[in-house]
Each structure stands twice: as structure tokens, then as C-alpha cells.
Structure 1
Amino acid sequence: MTRGRSCGHCPGSHTGERPCLATATAKAGAWLLIEHPGPWPERVEDLADPAPVAGAVRAAKRAGVRPQLIRRTGRRRATPPLQVYACFSRGGDVWIEGRELADPAELAALDLAALAAGRSPGLGERVAEPVLLVCTHGRRNACCARTGAPLARSLATRFERLIWETTHVGGDRFAANLVCLPHGFLYGDLGETEANAAADAYLRGEVSLPRLRGRAGTPEPAQAAEHFARAHTGRLGVDDATVVSVTGIPGTSRYEAVVHVRRSRYRVILEAVQQPDPCGSDCGENQRTYVVRELTLLNEAALV
């Protein structure tokens, strides 16, 4: 069996020592989740069988939609039927559609261009419950299986059908990783305590700032600016903070952001800095983090 590579840092338990601020993937604003019990290839686009699922994965990537293979923890059913979700996580109008498909060939009828643009792909009814994804993609990185699989099993004892194992979500060095959809909030370097806190917060309509990597589909500086504004104000509601603009300051590694937090508007100056690579040169992932240099209340924004 092919074994996924290890980051080299994983001691087998949560440490919470690696800064994970603003590390959520900026390329995932629309998602296609397809139940496939496995085996999972190292890269989802290399999936060959079943052909309809493989074709949908490649079509999603071409359309600018993030494809994820998902499966239940423990005993896994053979498919079909297979559960499929379409999620849109950009902006304030986020949503999930989902249904079981009796025939995987039905995937070919989905309008993935519409999904990428935030419109229904024709999958089915809107889903009221969130979807919580735990990366357990051992073929991609051994740390994800070593830390993600037991975390998924643990969370499933509390959150049951909301929990799915999934393929790579980015940031292998932050295993175990959790994605909260439809908003796309991503958490990393989780132990059971932090993961339960993050899931509980999301179910009550909030974020949990410890171990929050950011919101997928959002540029890194915007993720950092939102985080700093939330930390400053204590506003944790999923819709409490909106990044209005982010502008690079010429000749520097600094950014100026404007963030609305409820009815107030803040100016945030933040700087991108390099952090030491904790897992060696094989990681191949971005090692930047952000520090806040200035955070100023501008005025009371006339928001409705």
C-alpha cells in the first residue's frame, strides 16, 4: 500500500504551537462533496474509478469548484446510492444543497459553472444542517490519517451525521483539520477539546478563535484582518465581521484593510512575516503568518 508522506513534525498528538492564522485555502469558495468510501488517490483528480465520480471531480476543478471526496467514519457503505453536497461559502449568502444519487451518472447533469458563480447547480433542496469535514487523507499525508481519523471518530460520537471524513483540505502541517460548511471556516492543529469547541461554536452561529485558520475562499490578508478585528471586539457571530477592502502598501509587506464589525468600521494595518518551517523543506507549503501593527476604530458604519 502506498503510504502518504509525513510532515516530520507530527508527534502523534495535538501541540497547538504552530501559528495557523490566515492559512485557509483562498481558492475554495464553491465546493462539490461526493461520497466515495475509497481508496482515495494522493490527488483527487487522479481518481479513475468509478468513472462518473472521477469525471465530476475533474469537471469541478475545471469550473473553479473545489471537489472533495467524503466518507463516513467506521463502517462504510458501498455506493451507490451516494451522498452529494454542493456548497457555496463566499460572502453573506452561503448555502448547501444535497441529496443521495441512485446513479453516479447523475453527477454529469450538475451545472458546475452555476455553482462556481453562487447559483444552484440543480442538485436538490437546500440543506439546513451544516456539514463538518475532517481531513483523513493518509495517501496525501500520513499525519492527516494519524490525527484526523481518530478525531473524526470522536466527533462522530457527538455530532453524528454532521461529520464526514474528507480528502486534502490544504495545510497538512496543521493536521488535524476541520472545515465548517457552508461558511468555509477552517480550523487546524486540533485536539479533541479544540475540535469540539469549534464545532459547538459553529452550531450556535459563532466562530472559535483559537486554532481558527481562516475562511476558505478569502485572500490571506483578509482572513488575518477579520481575525484581528474579531479578537479586538470580541464579536464571534459568523456574520458579525465583513472585510470590505484589503490594499497592499507599496514597497512593504504590509496591508491596509477595512473591516465592518456589526455597526462599526475598523482600519487594520497588518504585516506578512515568515515563520520558521517546523517540518522541514519537504512541506512545500506557505510559511507566512500575519501580525497586526495598527487597529483603529474609524466610525459607526451605517449598516442595515
Structure 2
Amino acid sequence: MPTFASATVGAKLWLLIEYSGAWPSHVDDGTLPPKISELISRAVARGVRPQLIRRPGRRTRPQEQGIRVLAGYAIGDNPWLAGGVIAGPDDLDLDALVAGVVPESCILEDEPVFLVCTHAKRNACCARIGLPLARGLAEFLPDRVWETSHVGGDRYAANLVCLPHGIFYGSMSQAAALAAANAYRSGEVILDRFRGRAGIPEPLQAAEHFARTHTGECGLGGVAVESARSDGDVTEAIVRIGDVRIQVVVEPSVFQAPCGTACAEKITTYRLVSLDRLTPVRYATPALT
């Protein structure tokens, strides 16, 4: 089942909120404790993606004094993640996050964070497949793995998100999740089960995927869409990889999921229409002095 070009488009800014109590089917429905609900409402109003998180397998862990949060800026080549414990919503400057500035109540994290969707009330598949994966991955990466609420794409359970870049993987096994996490820590992606990077339109995720597949480029920052235009359902993108530009043309395609695939019958994906390598990037020769 194809997973590429399916990362959540509307997630460039993240707010992870630790909450060990029961998660409602929709985190923004106002049924959580008042401080948590207000924090979520403020995030949503500013275009920040709120996620509830908890440590794998620790259902009875008492809530510590204050609210543990992680703020993530997943835009551009230098994304960041910062964490802290706040007394209430007024103690977290979300406007700073929107501006790309670390809030004063948070400290930059020096290691990535890995989220596994285990949101049973949103979709049973995520809990059934995600729970054991989260617990298994946490054994290898203690204190860097969190269970999380709905991330989008239940049909791809188990889903793994790598922050701060917002790299999505789907249909993960224990071995695949560990390989993807280790690759991310080394500054690379693995194309197998790679869904894409959040915050990027799906046709451009597809263009990046086909460019990576064609060249074998796996570096996190090794691929960039320089320009794109659409004509109906067809999207043409110019993708830059190193000193080479590639013209990639894609269009939507419906994929019939295999019999027995969890939570899905048909999946909309993208088909490669054409891929052409253009002339290398030309750099001006500096004048001799």
C-alpha cells in the first residue's frame, strides 16, 4: 500500500501537551481539564497543531505539578523543539512560537522526539497497532518516545512522527520504526513507508518522493521544491537536489487497498506523469582580487 505524499498538510507549528488522563475523540472539544482545554484553544486559534502526549505504558503515572509542554517549529531547514513545565496557559508565549522564537518558558531540546499515534477513541486501529509499537520503540529510545493523539491518516497505522522536522511514516513495524528513528537521528529519511514532511502540500510531497526515488537522495535537507504550478489536477514542480534540478509532473491516482487492510478500502495517492533532469545549477564564478 503506498504511503508517500500523505503527511498532514496543516502542521508546521506543534504544541505537545502531556496529559495522562483519558483522551476524548477530539482534543479540542472542550472536555479536558480547563487549563488543558484553554491551552489547546489558544493553540488552534494561532494555527498551532495541538497534540496530547503520554509516556508509553504509563497509564497510572500521576500528573506532575504544572503542565509539561513541547513547542515545535517545523518550518524550513532549521526546525527546533523546546520543552518546559508551565503553571497554566498564560505562561506559554504561543505568539513567540508562531514567530519562530523559542518561548521564554521553554528550553531547546538537543535530541529529536518520536510520536506514535495510539488514539483509540479516534480510531481503534491506531491503538491496536500503535500501542505495542510505542512501547517497543521506547525500549530502544527511552524518554524520546511518546504516545500521541490523532496525527492524521488512520489508514496508515501505525503512524510515526519525527520532530522537529515533522517527518511522517506509516504502516510501521517495530523494525521499520527503529530503522526510521535511527535514520532521522543521523539526518536522513528512509523511503520505505515514508509519508512525507508535514506542512507541505501533498502534490509537492509526491514530487519530492519521486525525486528522491530517482536519485537515491536521503538527506533531510537534500531535496527542495524551488517552484511549482498546477493545471487542474496535474502539478509540475522543479525540485533541486544538490546542483541538479529535476522537473517532476504528478497527478492524483486512486489505489485499491489490499483485502484486509485496516481502516481503508481506497486510498488517494499520486502517479508520476514524467520526470526530467534539467541542466545543472550554474553558480557565478567569483571575481579574482
Does the TM-score normalized on the shorter chain lie above 0.5?
A: yes
- Alignment-derived partner of residue 153 in structure 2: 171
Q: Is 1:194 matched with 2:176?
A: yes
146, 159, 167: which is aligned to 2:141?
A: 159
263, 267, 270: which is aligned to 2:243?
A: 263
Q: TM-score, normalised by structure 1?
A: 0.86
Q: Residues 155 and 46 (structure 1 numbering): CA distance in 2 closer, same or farther, change over 3 Å?
A: same
- Alignment-derived partner of residue 25 in structure 1: 8
- Alignment-derived partner of residue 245 in structure 1: 227
Letter in 2 for 1:160: P
Q: Is 1:41 matched with 2:21?
A: no
Offset of 1:260 from its aligned partner? 1.1
Letter in 1 for 2:167: F
Q: Residues 90 and 278 (structure 1 numbering): CA distance in 2 closer, same or farther, change over 3 Å?
A: farther
73, 79, 98: which is aligned to 1:94?
A: 79
Q: In the aligned structure 1, how far is the partner of 2:29 from the partner of 2:116?
A: 21
273, 293, 301: which is aligned to 2:273?
A: 293
Letter in 2 for 1:50: P
SS at match of 1:58: helix
Q: Which consecutive residues of structure 2, in runs of 5 or more, have no partner in the other structure?
A: 285-289
Residues 271, 292 of structure 1: 8 Å contact kept: yes
Q: Is 1:83 matched with 2:68?
A: yes
Residues 97, 123 of structure 1: 8 Å contact kept: no
Letter in 2 for 1:254: V
1:17-75 deviations in Å (ceiling 9; x for gaps): x2111011100000000100120000000243321111111111111000000000122
- Matched ranges for 1:62-77 at <5 A: 62-76=45-59, 77=61
- Alignment-derived partner of residue 14 in structure 1: none
Offset of 1:266 from its aligned partner? 1.0
- Alignment-derived partner of residue 196 in structure 2: 214
When the two structures are aligned, how many residues end up with a matched partner? 281
Offset of 1:121 from its aligned partner? 3.2
Residues 52, 108 of structure 1: 8 Å contact kept: no
Q: Percent identity?
A: 48
Q: In the aligned structure 2, how far is the partner of 1:236 from the partner of 1:47?
A: 41
Q: In the aligned structure 1, how far is the partner of 2:79 from the partner of 2:42?
A: 22
Q: In the aligned structure 1, how far is the partner of 2:104 from the partner of 2:207?
A: 35
Residues 258, 268 of structure 1: 8 Å contact kept: yes
Residues 33, 86 of structure 1: 8 Å contact kept: yes
Q: TM-score, normalised by structure 2?
A: 0.91
Q: Residues 33 and 286 (structure 1 numbering): CA distance in 2 closer, same or farther, change over 3 Å?
A: farther
Residues 155, 264 of structure 2: 8 Å contact kept: no
- Alignment-derived partner of residue 287 in structure 2: none
Q: Is 1:275 matched with 2:255?
A: yes
CA RMSD after TM alignment = 2.2
Q: Is 1:143 matched with 2:128?
A: no
Offset of 1:279 from its aligned partner? 8.7
Q: Residues 228 and 236 (structure 1 numbering): CA distance in 2 closer, same or farther, change over 3 Å?
A: same
